[in-house]
Structure 1
């Protein structure tokens, strides 16, 4: 079973954007593994809360301008 785990900042994507990611990643799996992979493809989008991730000692908080509106 092909599996993708995508982590994004909380509230950065709309429901429609998440659905599009699921469809596109599933299509990519089908391109690589054939149509037989479609019913077994798993795409997990995890939202990480503000302050729950960082790099090089910097904790990230998503700016309001980048938050999804719906």
Structure 2
């Protein structure tokens, strides 16, 4: 059974975006393994509480991500 688990900061995706991720991921698995895997494909979209994740020994928050995405200058 193909399985994918995505984790995103809470509140950053709409219900429509989550649905799109599920459909596109399922289609990707079908593209690799054939139509027979569609009924057995599991896709989970988890939302992680703000500040509940990190990278490179730094706790990340939505505010920090927004600060970094702002153009400098």
Q: Does 1:38 align with 2:65?
A: no
Structure 2 counterpart of 1:49: 49
What is the total number of aligned residue pairs between the two structures?
Answer: 64
5+ residue gaps, structure 2, are 67-73
RMSD of equivalent CA atoms: 1.1
Higher relative contact order (CA 8 A, sep 6+): 1
| Structure-1-length-normalised TM-score | 0.85
| Structure-2-length-normalised TM-score | 0.82
Larger proportion of helix: 2
5+ residue gaps, structure 1, are none
Runs of 4+, deviation exceeding 4 Å: none
